[in-house]
Amino acid sequence: MSEIKNNMNRREFFAEVGKIAGVAAIGSAVISSTVFAEERRRGSAPAAGTGAGAVGDKLSWPVVEPGKETAVAMAYHHTHADASKDKNTSKAEKTGVKWDDQKCKNCMFYTEAGKKKVKIGGSEKEVSVGACTIFPNKLVAADGICNSWSKKA
């Protein structure tokens, strides 16, 4: 039998870990969105604190901080200007939508919640925010972007 050797360098290792984390996050988001969709079809409300509460509840959630936790794995940024500087941001056209036109507000994982002050570029600005199933119980900027963007149906 031949012996298989795997000489993976640090960069390749972290790239693989990032891919696995991304798949896990997207998988859980798809499963939870399917569960919430089934609850809506039945006409019942999900339990409090599960991410599908009233709009007022969502505005109390924290805003995702670029460069921390899951935001790093997803290459999330509040603006395209910031995302364009990130080498990990996928700037590819997806499902016929150019990267410049891909924003959280037109992503299938996004639900509008209202306006909230968000720290962007060193200063606080009031921007439209919404819930994203990729980031449970956290808000994202409507004009934000991450690598998990998927066109709304």
- The verdict on residue 148 lying in a domain is no
Count of C-beta atoms within a 10 Å radius of residue 70? 18
Hey, is 107 helix, strand or coil?
strand
- The verdict on residue 93 lying in a domain is yes
- The verdict on residue 136 lying in a domain is yes
- The verdict on residue 112 lying in a domain is yes
- The verdict on residue 73 lying in a domain is yes
pLDDT recorded at residue 116: 93
In sign, the C-alpha dihedral spanning 124, 127, 130, 135 is: negative
- The verdict on residue 3 lying in a domain is no
- pTM for this model (two decimals): 0.63
pLDDT recorded at residue 141: 96
User: Low-confidence residues of the chain, pLDDT below 50?
Assistant: 45-53
Q: How many domains is the chain partitioned into structurally? A: 1
Domain of residue 17 covers 10-141
Element containing residue 58 per DSSP (H, E): helix 55-58
Summarize the chain as % helix, strand, coil (round to 5).
35, 25, 45
pLDDT recorded at residue 5: 57
